[in-house]
Amino acid sequence: MQQREWDLIAVVLENCWRGDWDELRAGAYFTLLEPYDTADIERAVRVLAQNGSPFLPTVPEIISAIKGAADSSVPTWPEALTAIRGAIRRHGRFRGQLGVEQLERRHPMIASFAAAYGWERLCGEPVDDPDHGGAVLRRLEISYGEHVERQQDREANGLAIAAGERRTLTGGPRRTNPAELLRGAA
């Protein structure tokens, strides 16, 4: 986590709960929470806010919420499919970022799958086709299972679940501009 990311979390902690907050306390929180991924900390803060305590969460409470989220079970394919269909119905084909955000609130693994598979591609799958819908659903189920395995391997190696929409280059690989190289050498 970087300092600017922490500053946003610190503002939330300071303004959403009762309790003393100063620069010294903010520095101590940052020191102890720095090794954790920003998305995990934000998720933990949301969980703690939903629990309803009016008092400022302690660092151990935040870390417990982070570990609790990591220990939560991975949704099964039927659960993931239900969540994905609901998000597609609500947000449609062209508001994929909103759909992925909705899935993130449901479970990070589902959001990660939707982002990796591609929102528009996922929306375009003919799952309701009477002739081939079953085969499409089976292919999606296999893809989801493989994705879960990859993400669990990432977690086992200390990496966060890859969430968020993948950014791709539009127009292919970028070409080297020789004129720019010459200007930089001068």
User: 145-177, pLDDT tens digit by residue?
Assistant: 899 888 888 777 776 665 544 444 334 445 666
CA distance 51 to 45: 10
Does residue 98 form part of some domain? yes
CB hemisphere CA count around 159 (13 angstroms): 9
**Model's pTM, two decimal places?**
0.49
Q: Is the pLDDT of residue 78 over 50?
A: yes
82 plus 149 within the same structural domain: yes
Crossing angle for the helix pair 96-106 and 77-91, to the nearest 10 degrees: 140
Helix (H, G, I), strand (E, B) or coil at 18: strand
Residue 59 lies in a domain: yes
Say if residue 112 is in the same domain as residue 88: yes
Q: Tell me 55's DSSP state.
A: B
